[in-house]
Amino acid sequence: MLSQRRLSTATLALGLVVLTDVLRVFLPSVITIFGQAASTPAELLGAFALGWFVLALAAPALVVRIGPHLVGIAAAALLGAARLALTAAPGGRAQLWLATAGLLAGLVWLAATAARVERPVPGLALGLTAGALGHALFGTYDPLWWGRWEAWAASLALVAALVVAEATLARRDGSAVRAGNQPAVGGLAWLLAGPALLLGGMVALSPAVASTAMSFWYGEAGTAAPPPFALAPLAVAAALFVLAALIPLGRRWRPLPPLLLVGGAVLFGYGPPTLLTFAMLLTAAGLGGCLALAGEVPVAQRHAGRVPARRAYAAVGGMLVFAVAAVVFYAAYDIGYPNGWLPAVVAALVGVVALRAVNGADDPRGASEGPQSSAPARVPLRAVNGADDPRGASEGPQSSAPARVPLRLAVLAALVAFLAAWVHGPWLVSSNRHGPPEQVRLVAYNIRMGFGLDGRFDLAGLDRAVGEADVVVLSEVDRGWLLNGGHDTLHLLAARLEMPYVFGPAAGPLWGDAVLSRWPVQGARTRPLPAVGAPTGAQALGVTIDFSAGVRLAVVSTHLQPPPGAEPVVQARAVADFAAGYADGLPLVVAGDFNTEPGDPAFTALTDAGLVDAFAPARPLPTSPADDPREQIDHIFVSPDLVATDPVAVPSTASDHLPVAVTLTLPTR
């Protein structure tokens, strides 16, 4: 039978995994269902998302009035029900409101848990790690998007474990409180729950960031095939995080975790993509160490009666920090301002809280004031958990070797990550073995991070829309944004299509454009485009496809970002110049989302550079929005020596754009 302390740790970890799952649906639902990304004001999207976190500030008062056990069980049941309902939801408004209800229930559950659990660091550390490893085992493709029996089995098992743990913990707490005669612990560790979830999901414990980071070791523009051991950084990061969080540092090493955390966050915000791996490892080690530092803070006896409520407010307040920071960071890509500083600011906040916590623990005045110091503080009956159970401190031989359990957990975390790397590792791809083809089918597609018009992550729909293409040019490719659920959309889609890829980052290292090909690619090169006031970054990615026998094709993928109220003329000219220099006489294709229509200045800048509109015979060919296309903004241009036939915009709602396709007849040498 689990001890009270271990049971509370397991309950917190399970609940955090379920809450994280719901967040991975809520955040992209705000973008794709409540709003339509750039077409809906970022301020409105942010206000909607933040409103629910602000509303949750009422949860601590509810917990105090009703009691944490009853509120905790009810909230856990609602959270679990929302998680299961999301697995069955068809998308659309139902998905948005189910995710919102699940988020609110999860925040209430977190407040109730904080009122009972005094030492949250083990549960927080294991919950964050388990959530990341579970995401890795499914290849960053959450089971709730599957709609298959495996998804239901995984969801039911997780939710059932949470509800059973909650009920068991509530039943045992009544007997545990009679042993509660230890000093109260403050809420600073709970205040770090939200920031830890943010930094863990953005960089430190993200499997998508790990695989993307590895791809940058294979050339300027990423890799032309899935990188081997793509999740190796996650294995190391998870082990470092667990060890740092569960093994306290000596006094002289206490400043190290905040320094590591801030250093990793700065590297994530401002470092080159090739250093993303090191940013991940530094952030993981620093974040775990800061959680350990904030683990215990004695509280003055005169405040002991208010400690449960203060912990509850700290937990919900920390989640509000999560929401504000996430909104501010990702809104920059719609509004237009620097955002690389934000992870560093959140990391600095975590470091300050951790150092203050440990300094308070060292201060003899921290535990009590005046003559009361000789008597231990008593905590109200409903506030006590297994941390006060004397049996929790020493059970069997483990008490003589406190580092043994964290070490085993770290090894287990690394093994699970390596298992995920093996399961989702490099796959065999189609290749040309019989000489160059006479014709090639090329598709250009703005995939909106993988989310369809119904707001669901729809790999199957993208697969159907692409069809039997030989070369695929993708725009709005997400490789790990927390805002979009932390998926590596490119890797998932490429694995489904069995096509290797090359990635060109545009807005930070995790968002950009890509080219997939059934034939070997070489010479990948990427060039940033002038921003000219546009909030979202843009780039041009060039690759050369080798069909053998001396037949090659230059392909340039781009996504122009128009400045406010103007045409992307400057970017269009930059793309044309880059493409001409890159092709250097080879047959050339330039494709993507150009955000300009035929006859507009940016469109004319491309045709004036000698490129041919491959869709001219089929005009008008509207491509956006997908459910009622009215705008012709997705294009394929070719050099005059290429013959383009069969132009079409493929009907699909797997994105907010339609994919466009042509058949290219390759010149022979």
Express each pLDDT in 335-382 by its tens digit.
889 999 999 999 999 999 999 887 765 554 544 444 343 333 333 333
pLDDT at 185 over 70: no
Q: What pLDDT, on a 0 to 100 scale, did the predictor assign at position 555?
A: 98
What is the distance between the alpha carbons of residues 476 and 593, in angstroms, rounded to a whole number? 9
Q: What pLDDT, on a 0 to 100 scale, did the predictor assign at position 173?
A: 66
Taking the model in full, what pTM does it have?
0.90
pLDDT at 282 over 50: yes
Q: What pLDDT, on a 0 to 100 scale, did the predictor assign at position 186?
A: 52
What is the distance between the alpha carbons of residues 32 and 135, in angstroms, rounded to a whole number? 21
Average pLDDT, the chain: 87
**Residue % of the chain over a pLDDT of 70:** 86
What is the distance between the alpha carbons of residues 652 and 462, in angstroms, rounded to a whole number? 8
Q: What pLDDT, on a 0 to 100 scale, did the predictor assign at position 400?
A: 40
Q: Which residue has the higher pLDDT, 626 or 306?
A: 626
Which residues have C-beta within 8 Å of that of residue 285, sequence separation ≥ 6?
Answer: 237, 240, 241, 244, 257, 260, 261, 264
What is the distance between the alpha carbons of residues 667 and 669, in angstroms, rounded to a whole number? 7
Q: Which whole number is the average pLDDT over 169-188?
A: 55
Does an H or E element contain 566, and which? none
Q: What is the pLDDT of residues 86-119, one digit of tens each?
A: 988 889 999 999 999 999 999 999 999 999 988 8
What is the distance between the alpha carbons of residues 176 and 381, in angstroms, rounded to a whole number? 9
Q: Which whole number is the average pLDDT over 314-334?
A: 95
Q: Which whole number is the average pLDDT over 541-560?
A: 94
What is the distance between the alpha carbons of residues 536 and 514, in angstroms, rounded to a whole number? 16
What is the distance between the alpha carbons of residues 329 and 49, in angstroms, rounded to a whole number? 13
Q: Which whole number is the average pLDDT over 263-285?
A: 96
Among residues 66, 164, 128, 170, the alpha carbon closest in space to that of 318 is found at 128
Q: Which pairs with CB-CB distance under 8 Å and at least 24 residues apart come from 271-276?
A: 273/213, 273/216, 273/505, 273/509, 274/216, 274/217, 276/209, 276/212, 276/213, 276/216, 276/509
Q: What pLDDT, on a 0 to 100 scale, did the predictor assign at position 280?
A: 97
pLDDT at 511 over 50: yes
Task: Output DSSP code: residue 529.
Answer: P
Domains and CATH numbers, the chain: 4-392+399-421 (1.20.1250), 439-665 (3.60.10.10)
Q: For residue 51, what pLDDT band results from cuts at 50, 70 and 90? A: very high
Q: For residue 184, what pLDDT band results from cuts at 50, 70 and 90? A: very low
